[in-house]
Structure 1
Amino acid sequence: MGYFSVATSDADDLHAVEPHAAGVSSRLNWLRAGVLGANDGIVSAAGLVVGVAAATPELGPILTAGVAGLVAGAVSMALGEYVSVSTQRDTERVLLAKERRELEEAPEAELAELAAMYQAKGLRAETAQRVAEELTEYDAFAAHIDIELGIDPNELANPWQAAIASAISFTLGALLPLIAILLPPVSARIPVTFAAVLIALALTGTISARLGGARKSRAILRVVLGGAIAMVVTFAVGQFVGGIGY
């Protein structure tokens, strides 16, 4: 009797925990996307303003290039995310509709398919058939989309939410190098921007490593080195262009 009461309690606990775990996973995915968007904004804007600053000491061109790059990048990120997530959402809706139609038109075939999938996962044929029958009786549609598609129809991605989040994260990231290059005196603009950008990239690398469970040193080195290379290249291009007559 004690075994069954414990088993029931555990099942209830798992039922209560799973939605929470799914919500945490979803929030972590959005946070990771935000960190990546901010990282993209930092590197893109830094490369742009450093390149222009290497060509001219005038604030006007630097500010214009920085703001234009920020706006263009934010819009590009938003549009890209909107198109990508919309395509994903449309595809998921088509798959869900197809699965629902198949269940209505050929329920027996779908039941056999469900049992076969559970058997392929390691259950004995009799157990797989019983599991398939019980799940079908409870909610056939939910059972099929879970094991076949891995889609939760109540948590389909929102393209507008993705677009706005990407635009905001890119903008916040791009603001840092823009501010860093505008505030110091002319002689310190590029060194200050380099330092600020590399520190910010080290921070985003640390956050992304923690979210992904990866080694911090490798993640930090990757983003810092990439950002440094981008700024060095655009600095060299700016000096070359400025040297032939900006």
Structure 2
Amino acid sequence: MLGANDGLVSVASIMMGVGAVKEDVTAMVLSGFAGLVAGACSMAIGEFVSVYTQYDIEKEQLKREEEEGGDSSDKKEKLPSPYQAALASALAFSVGAVIPLVGAMFIKDYKIRLSVVAAMVSLALLVFGGIGAVLGRTPVKKSCIRVLIGGWAAMAITFGLTKLIGFTQP
């Protein structure tokens, strides 16, 4: 859920930031698409490096255990796959990132587009917060509110700062 939430908030925030200074749907969608690709690549590469490091550590530990005469055949089958982790991370990010893109793609009117993106992202944040809470066996309402407020804050800060910088540029 974390990767999907990252994709959702990151791409929605980028799109809201661009939307703060450009009313053009093309600019908003292109920036969101660039954010999706860059974010998915970043998440995949980060996960790959992290899991590969873990894999190397565990492999060396198994090697030491075998040298000491231990049986590590069961443990070899349980080694993490950096490729699977990278793919899963990129896919999760992309699933979340698609939501604001779909919300903006077909709406030409600037104010309605921003409102639809904000509404779709808000609904997705609530769903992601609820799923995360159920999976983690934590209070659903508290989790949903925390995720929603965090997402709103990211979008509002990005929108506000980009608007501020947009006003100061010639």
Do the two structures share a fold, i.e. TM-score over 0.5? yes
Instruction: Please give the alpha-carbon distance, in whole angstroms, between the structure 2 residues aligned to 1:56 and 1:220.
Output: 31
Aligned counterpart in structure 1 of residue 27 of structure 2, from 53, 61, 72: 61
* Counterpart in the other structure of 1:156: 79
Aligned counterpart in structure 1 of residue 43 of structure 2, from 77, 81, 95: 77
* Counterpart in the other structure of 1:219: 143
In structure 2, stretches of 5+ residues that fail to align are: none
Instruction: Please give the alpha-carbon distance, in whole angstroms, between the structure 2 residues aligned to 1:69 and 1:46.
Output: 9
What aligned pairs does 1:28-177 form with structure 2 within 5 A after superposition?
A: 35-103=1-69, 141=71, 152-177=75-100
Instruction: Please give the alpha-carbon distance, in whole angstroms, between the structure 2 residues aligned to 1:214 and 1:92.
Output: 31
Q: Percent identity?
A: 40
* Counterpart in the other structure of 1:28: none
Secondary structure at 2:138 match in 1: coil
Which amino acid is the alignment partner of residue 87 of structure 2?
I
Aligned counterpart in structure 2 of residue 230 of structure 1, from 154, 159, 168: 154
Aligned counterpart in structure 1 of residue 102 of structure 2, from 168, 179, 192: 179
Misfit runs of 4+, over 4 Å: none
Instruction: Please give the alpha-carbon distance, in whole angstroms, between the structure 1 residues aligned to 2:130 and 2:71.
Output: 41
Aligned counterpart in structure 2 of residue 204 of structure 1, from 123, 128, 141: 128
**What is the Cα-based RMSD across aligned positions, in Å?**
1.7
Instruction: Please give the alpha-carbon distance, in whole angstroms, between the structure 1 residues aligned to 2:155 and 2:104.
Output: 13
Instruction: Please give the alpha-carbon distance, in whole angstroms, between the structure 1 residues aligned to 2:98 and 2:23.
Output: 19
In 2, are the aligned partners of 1:55 and 1:240 still within 8 Å (CA)? no
Instruction: Please give the alpha-carbon distance, in whole angstroms, between the structure 2 residues aligned to 1:182 and 1:69.
Output: 15
TM-score, normalisation: structure 1:
0.65
TM-score, normalisation: structure 2:
0.92
